[in-house]
């Protein structure tokens, strides 16, 4: 059974609310008492992006009385393919403001608490204090571990989902006797080893699927109804349209929820996830880099520079510099196509894969090789504004 959240005090429903929630009220699993619980509930949506959009929209429509929104970001065009709480007219605006307006339009009975800030170790506990349930819709490992630890330390359930390409994972962590996120994944992958949605892409409807699963789990926790995903990990494969469920257990040696915890307060999660070293070097691997303007000067000046594109063929079709295409994964088998006497500039979308390619080529004895800093996106920003960005 899910963990019920007792409302602080019974909340009455107005006639307008009775009408609005009538399809809930006629279900015995919800009824007037359940709807009052939903109205009394305080739910925090961490992130108002792909997952946060359907999550917040459905929780608002369902009548969650207090919805918190945390996000520091602004809406951009690449968000609109999946972040359905935001519209074309919102591009450039604060995501929290944009989302709050849509929630108000859907259900004026919902109180929205806005946190236009990045969730950090300094503010997480204070923000979480205002809420009963936390829903994690963030997009990076550092914030995932921060949300988990703050939930465990504050004793609040973490309704979790994550997505990549066609696949998603969902669970409810840190509630009652169930495992937490660290029980499942004690450590994050090294920076750059698992691509983000920015690098690897994501099917636009996938966060819809997973965000709605999160919303469902939130409502069930509020109602204390049904079997929650506590102790279960749901694996969604949208391409095969297959839902698998696996059992997961609490780790007695978990550093945050185990018998002898070593993490008793929030830590530096960017350091924990190795983000700082990645940002400071501009790439995962420290290799020689060339700035877009310098490459442009060399090419215009007729220098003998061989441009190596290590992206995938479908990315090459979107935009390219006319370089020789060898996807990073094929480089070891196709390295013979390269002339080690020539200067080689490798590039990808943002500079991570090309840094790996340069490190590989250096290890194979290539000496005149560098990575285009910031990839083809930086080229579009600094050299060719007509280049499509993706």
Partner 1 sequence: MIRVIIPAHLRTLARVEGEVRVEVEGVATQRAVLDALEERYPMLRGTIRDHVTQKRRPFVRFFACERDLSHEAPDARLPDAVIAGTEPFLIVGAIAGG
Site for partner 1, rule CB under 8 A: 47, 49-52, 136-141, 144, 161-169, 184-189, 193-197, 200, 202, 207, 233, 235, 240, 244-249, 329-330, 332
Burial of 101 (0-12, 13-18, 19+ CB in 10 A): middle
Best CA proximity match to 43, nearest among 93, 103, 112: 112
Q: Which of 197, 254, 257, 319 is catalytic?
A: 197
Would you tell me the crossing angle of helices 52-62 and 206-223 to the nearest 10 degrees? 40
Residue 60 vs 233, nearer CB to partner 1: 233
Q: Which of 151, 183, 273, 348 is catalytic?
A: 348
Rounded to the nearest whole angstrom, what is the least distance from the CB of residue 381 to partner 1 in the complex? 24
Rounded to the nearest whole angstrom, what is the least distance from the CB of residue 225 to partner 1 in the complex? 23
Cα–Cα distance, 252 to 175 (Å, whole number): 15
Q: Residue with structure tokens 């069930």?
A: 220
Rounded to the nearest whole angstrom, what is the least distance from the CB of residue 162 to partner 1 in the complex? 5
Residue 134 vs 305, nearer CB to partner 1: 134
Residue 181 vs 366, nearer CB to partner 1: 181
Rounded to the nearest whole angstrom, what is the least distance from the CB of residue 108 to partner 1 in the complex? 27
Are the C-beta atoms of 91 and 46 separated by less than 8 Å?
no
Q: Which residues contact 368 (CB under 8 A, 6 or more apart)?
A: 340, 342, 343, 344
Are the C-beta atoms of 308 and 347 separated by less than 8 Å?
yes
Residue 24 vs 250, nearer CB to partner 1: 250
Rounded to the nearest whole angstrom, what is the least distance from the CB of residue 142 to partner 1 in the complex? 9
Are the C-beta atoms of 151 and 158 separated by less than 8 Å?
yes
Q: Which residues contact 246 (CB under 8 A, 6 or more apart)?
A: 232, 233, 235
Are the C-beta atoms of 123 and 117 separated by less than 8 Å?
yes
Can 273 be counted among the known catalytic residues?
no
The pair of structure tokens assigned to 10 is 């019974």
Are the C-beta atoms of 95 and 75 separated by less than 8 Å?
yes
CB atoms within 10 A of CB 15: 7
Residue 47 vs 63, nearer CB to partner 1: 47
The pair of structure tokens assigned to 239 is 């391409």
Can 197 be counted among the known catalytic residues?
yes
Residue 33 vs 237, nearer CB to partner 1: 237
- The SS3 of residue 293 is helix
Rounded to the nearest whole angstrom, what is the least distance from the CB of residue 344 to partner 1 in the complex? 21
**b or e along 255-264 (b: 16 or more beta carbons within 10 Å of the residue's beta carbon)?**
bbbbeeeebe
Residue 47 vs 375, nearer CB to partner 1: 47
Rounded to the nearest whole angstrom, what is the least distance from the CB of residue 307 to partner 1 in the complex? 23
Are the C-beta atoms of 360 and 284 separated by less than 8 Å?
no
The catalytic residues are 197, 348
């Amino acid at each position: 059974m899910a963990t019920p959240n007792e409302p602080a005090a019974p909340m009455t429903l107005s006639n307008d609310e009775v009408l609005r929630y009538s399809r809930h009220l006629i279900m015995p699993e919800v009824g007037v008492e359940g709807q009052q619980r939903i109205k009394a509930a305080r739910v925090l949506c961490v992130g108002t992006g792909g997952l946060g959009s359907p999550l917040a929209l459905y929780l608002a429509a369902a009548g969650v009385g207090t919805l918190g929104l945390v996000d520091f970001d602004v809406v951009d065009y690449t968000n609109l393919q999946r972040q359905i709480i935001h519209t074309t007219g919102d591009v450039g605006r604060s995501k929290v403001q944009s989302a709050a307006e849509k929630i108000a339009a859907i259900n004026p009975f919902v109180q929205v608490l806005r946190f236009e800030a990045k969730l950090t170790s300094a503010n997480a506990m204070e923000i979480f204090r205002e809420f009963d349930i936390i829903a994690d819709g963030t997009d990076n490992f550092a914030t995932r571990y921060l949300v988990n630890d703050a939930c465990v330390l504050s004793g609040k359930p973490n309704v979790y989902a994550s997505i990549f390409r066609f696949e998603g994972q969902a669970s409810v962590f840190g509630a009652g006797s169930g495992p937490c996120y660290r029980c499942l994944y004690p450590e994050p992958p090294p920076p750059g080893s698992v691509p983000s949605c920015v690098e690897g892409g994501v099917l636009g409807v996938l966060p819809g699927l997973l965000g709605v699963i999160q919303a469902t789990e939130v409502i069930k926790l509020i109602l204390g109804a049904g079997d929650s995903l506590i102790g279960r990990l749901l694996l969604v494969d949208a391409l095969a349209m297959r839902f698998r469920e696996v059992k997961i257990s609490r780790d007695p040696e978990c550093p945050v929820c185990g018998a002898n915890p070593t993490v008793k307060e929030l830590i530096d999660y960017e350091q924990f996830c190795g983000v700082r070293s990645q940002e400071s070097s501009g790439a995962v691997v420290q290799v020689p880099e060339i700035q877009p303007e310098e490459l442009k000067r060399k090419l215009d000046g007729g220098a003998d520079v061989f441009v190596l594109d290590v992206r995938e063929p479908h990315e090459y079709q979107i935009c390219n510099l006319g370089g020789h295409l060898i996807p990073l994964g094929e480089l070891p088998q196709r390295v013979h196509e390269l002339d080690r006497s020539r200067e080689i500039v490798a590039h990808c979308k943002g500079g991570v894969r090309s840094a790996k390619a340069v490190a590989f080529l250096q290890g194979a004895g290539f000496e005149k090789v560098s990575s285009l800093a910031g990839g083809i996106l930086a080229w579009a920003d600094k050299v060719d504004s007509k280049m499509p960005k993706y």
